[in-house]
Amino acid sequence: MEKTILVTGGTGYIGAWVVKKLLDKGYKVILTLRNKSKIQSLVFLKEISEKFAEKIEFVEADLLKEGDFDEPASRSDAIIHVASPFKLTFKDPVAELINPAVKGTQNVLNAANKSERVKKVVLTSSVAAVHGDNKDMTELGIEEFTEENFNQTSSVKHQPYSFSKVTAEKEAWKIAEQQDKWKLVVINPSFVMGPSLVGATNSGSFSFMTDLLSGKYSMAAPELYFGFVDVRDVAEAHILALENDDADGRHILSVGVMNIKQLSDLIEKLYPNRFKLPKAKAPKFLLLMIGWSFGLTTKFVSRNIGWPLKLSNKKSIEKLGLKYAPTEKIFKDMIDYMIENKIIN
Residue 85 has a pLDDT of: 63
Residue 1 has a pLDDT of: 62
Half-sphere exposure of 124 (CA within 13 A, CB side): 32
The residues, ordered by sequence, that sit 6+ positions from 238 with a Cβ below 8 Å of its Cβ are: 18, 21, 80, 82, 122, 124, 187
The domain of 91 spans 4-340
Residue 96 has a pLDDT of: 84
Residue 176, domain CATH: 3.40.50.720
Number of other residues whose CB lies within 10 A of the CB of residue 54: 6
Residues 188 and 250 sit within 8 Å (Cβ to Cβ): yes
Residue 201 has a pLDDT of: 67
Asked, for residue 345, whether it belongs to a domain, the answer is no
Residues 279 and 221 sit within 8 Å (Cβ to Cβ): no
Residue 46 has a pLDDT of: 83
The residues assigned a catalytic role are 165
The rounded distance, in Å, linking the Cα atoms of 288 and 296 is: 9
Q: Report angle CA 174, 178, 179 to the nearest 5 degrees.
A: 130
Asked, for residue 126, whether it belongs to a domain, the answer is yes
Asked, for residue 136, whether it belongs to a domain, the answer is yes
The rounded distance, in Å, linking the Cα atoms of 281 and 283 is: 6
Please give the tally of structural domains in the chain.
1
The rounded distance, in Å, linking the Cα atoms of 132 and 91 is: 20
The rounded distance, in Å, linking the Cα atoms of 200 and 10 is: 14
Reduced to 3 states, what is the DSSP secondary structure of residue 7?
A: strand
Residues of the chain with pLDDT under 70: 1, 40-41, 85-90, 201-202, 289-294
Asked, for residue 68, whether it belongs to a domain, the answer is yes
